[in-house]
Structure 1
Amino acid sequence: MRRLLTILLLAPAAALIPAVDAHADPAGTGYTLVFADEFNGSAVDTAKWNYRTDSKAYSTQRPQNVSVSGGALNIALKKETYGGKDYTGGGVVSKQTLRYGYYETRAKLNDGAGWHSSFWLMAGDGSTTYPASQRTEIDGFEIDSVTPTRIHHGVLTWKGNGVSAGKSYGTTYTSATVDSRDWHVYGIDWSETSTKFYVDGVLKYTAPYLPTDWTHDYTSIWLTSIAYGSVPDATKLPSSVQFDYVKYWQKDYYVDDDGPAAYGYGETGTWSTSTLTGWTVGSPTRYATCNSSGNTATWRPNLRAAGTYKVSYYKVTAANSDSAAKLTVAGTQTTVNGTTGPSGWVDLGTFTLPAGTGTAATLTSSGSGCARADAVKFTRI
């Protein structure tokens, strides 16, 4: 990871915010910027963001506490009675949901005990931290203002509504070089096989979070601060937490048969939902009428950049699976025997592909067993 420090830019409110030319990886490695907010306007972009509005611990979160000025998102922290609490905080939650890729923000947190600030990923709209849809939680940073040099990174799994799914990974450490009351860059690199956490471009922790651990779902970006852990130090209020920007770069593309990643999935012929699960926990799969030829399943990604991609099909192994299913990508056909070996990714080849939706992987049933469809991934190399 490289972070190139550039000149100081004069923010609209005449506050100097050091600017950073931040990039997920050195140029040419295949990341494409997909989501960004530099907070350079005069108001929160409500086309991009929901407000956090729950009441939790010592504070209620209010939209009125969130503003954009001086080139930053500002979250006001107040001693204020509202919603049955004696303090108010706030935050924003992205309306767009995302999965694998590199996420980054730059933040400056408050001084004074009693506040819990976070850059994190989880499903939800901000009305509660326990939505029914919560499955994956990835904490880019969690910092309690009583110990501003103590940082937590981690992954939690949920069954929804605040019920733990039992898997968790994390680390908490005191940094000799990072004081969160100054500006610092925090990054999350989430892939199928791990989640890596960076501070100022330095890798701090890797969580071995696999699809076999729990469902890897689509999540929103949360930038928040609430009164939590201890009663806030009222002598330090009002105060604020600031986020200079947030960005998300995508590199790999997964198309599934269900959920948000099914945007490019289609079928011809007769297909049904199987009791066999796919590449991530709880992921349903599909099967074509057994011993019937010519049924097709198609996975069509929206590639945001031209490049070289390794294409892989997730084979669901079963005794009655298709023993000679045909997988075709860019005119190249691969025969896959679904009756032998373990379930897992099957390499269909490496291809130079254009940007957009012009490329697809197509499965065609051979008539020998039940053709099965789950997911295809296009991995940028």
Structure 2
Amino acid sequence: MKKILISIVLLLFLGVSCMNKDQEIKPYMDLPGYKLVFNDEFNNGILDTTVWGFHNLGKRRSAINVKNACLINENGELEIRNWTVIDNLDTVHHAGMIETKENFTFGYYEARIKFELLPGTWGAFWIMYNNFQQQFTENDNPKELGTEIDIIEYVPKNNHYGVHNLHWNGYGQYHKTKGSGELMNGQLEGYHVYSLLWTPEEYIFYIDGKESWRSSDGISHVPEYVILSTEIQDKGWAGDIPLDGYGSFDETHNIMYVDYIRIFQK
């Protein structure tokens, strides 16, 4: 009888092990050899500040970046809220940014995101290098110093569109950039999977598993951190801020939603 019970327990254990193996998180696309090294499914009810920090708190463009703009809702989504406080004729807009505490290099990065943003606000899933404030020269090499890699920037203007961008050599006189131009104009309602395959030779960008742009310019070989963010700027590339703002924290409909973020490496 004891042998039978032991056999049953072993079979159950093997069954659970096989089930867990089958449920292993895999890339949205078929990428043999790539294994999960970081993910957040945002299912814990609160933002995990052991893996996330807050990026550029304080005044930025036409808003203030604040911690409470970034929260986990009851549906297991990260929300980055954007709202307005009007007090004694003083108008203050609020936005949010979070960044990974860990740095990463070559690999496949993906996030499932829904942008419900209003004019004057844009949202982004991007990768940033650590020494962007240093002094750059014309001949600096992004391979050694890093590149800003915008996996997706969503712009609620011209019926809304997405764009992939690269920036390197700082943001001053030696700044260099390359971009995809407007993509998916008017076709980005609801959730989409935005992703990047970053190799030593090139960047390949995807929307819902379909290649949307690639570039071999500004290839970084240094560890960088990942950012999920919204920004607000009046009369900029995202359009004009509404005259009455975006409503209160509880009433705003100006929100970026993230279902998950995952990073895979070989």
TM range (shorter): 0.7 to 0.9
- Equivalent residue for 1:34, pick from 30, 37, 62: 37
Per-residue CA shift, 1:217-267, capped at 9, x if unaligned? 21111000011224422465323111111000002xxxxxxxxxxxxxxxx
Which position in structure 1 is the counterpart of 2:204?
A: 196
> After superposition, what is the alpha-carbon deviation per residue over 1:298-324, rounded to whole angstroms, capped at 9, x for unaligned?
xxxxxxxxxxxxxxxxxxxxxxxxxxx
CA–CA distance in 1 between the matches of 2:86 and 2:44?
Answer: 30
Percent identity, aligned pairs only? 23
Distance 1:24 1:209, change over 3 A: farther
Equivalent residue in structure 1 for 2:169, among 142, 158, 161: 158
One-letter amino acid matched to 1:156: H
Q: Give, in whole Å, the separation in 1 of the partners of 2:173 and 2:107.
A: 25
Q: Label 1:203 to 1:166 Cα distance change in 2 as closer, same or farther (>3 A).
A: same
Partner of 2:54: 51
Partners of 2:84 and 2:245 within 8 A in 1 = no
Deviation at 1:216, TM superposition (A): 2.8
Residue in 1 that maps onto 2:71: 67
2:181 pairs with 172, 175, 186, which one? 172
Structure 1's consecutive aligned runs of 4 or more residues displaced over 6 angstroms after TM superposition are none
Quick one: distance in 2 between partners of 1:148 and 1:94?
31
Letter in 2 for 1:241: M
Q: 1:30 to 1:175 in 2, by over 3 A?
A: same
Cα distance in 2, alignment partners of residues 73 and 109 from structure 1: 12
CA distance 1:210–1:76, change in 2 (3 Å): closer
Structure with the larger strand share: 1
CA distance in 2, matches of 1:118, 1:107: 10
TM-score (norm 2): 0.74
Structure 2 CA distance for aligned equivalents of residues 165 and 36 of structure 1: 35
* The structure with more helix, counted as a fraction of residues: 2
Deviation, structure 1 residue 64: 1.2
Provide, for residues 125-154 of structure 1, a one-character-per-residue CA deviation record: whole Å limited to 9, x for no partner.
xxxx96449731000111122345311102
- Structure 1: where are the runs of 5+ without partners? 1-20, 252-381
Query: Aligned equivalents of 1:235 and 1:47: distance in 2?
Result: 33
For the residues of structure 2 that align with 1:33 and 1:54, how far apart are their CA atoms? 33
Q: How far apart in 1 are the matches of 2:122 and 2:173?
A: 21
CA distance in 2, matches of 1:243, 1:88: 18
Structure 1 CA distance for aligned equivalents of residues 64 and 48 of structure 2:
22
Q: Which residue of 2 aligns with 1:122?
A: 128
Judge conservation of contact 2:164–2:213 (CA < 8 Å) in 1.
yes
Distance 1:244 1:157 in 2: 29
Q: Distance in 2 between matches of 1:146 and 1:132?
A: 33
Secondary structure in 1 matching 2:178: strand
Distance 1:88 1:130 in 2: 24
| Superposition TM-score, scaled by structure 1 size | 0.53
> 1 CA distance for matches of 2:172 and 2:182?
26
Question: Residues 41 and 147 (structure 1 numbering): CA distance in 2 closer, same or farther, change over 3 Å?
Answer: farther
Distance 1:227 1:169 in 2: 23
Q: 2:225 matched to 1:220?
A: yes
Q: After TM superposition, give the deviation of residue 87 of structure 1 in Å.
A: 0.5
Distance 1:137 1:164 in 2: 16
Matched residue of 1:175: which SS? coil
Matched, 1:182 2:190: yes
User: Take 1:208 and 1:152, find their aligned partners in 2: how far apart are those partners?
Assistant: 17
Distance in 2 of aligned mates of 1:136 and 1:176: 26
1:104–1:246: 8 Å Cα contact kept in structure 2? yes
Note the aligned Cα RMSD (angstroms).
2.6
CA distance in 1, matches of 2:108, 2:37: 10
Unmatched tracts of structure 2, length 5 or more: 1-24, 136-144
Counterpart secondary structure, 2:226: strand
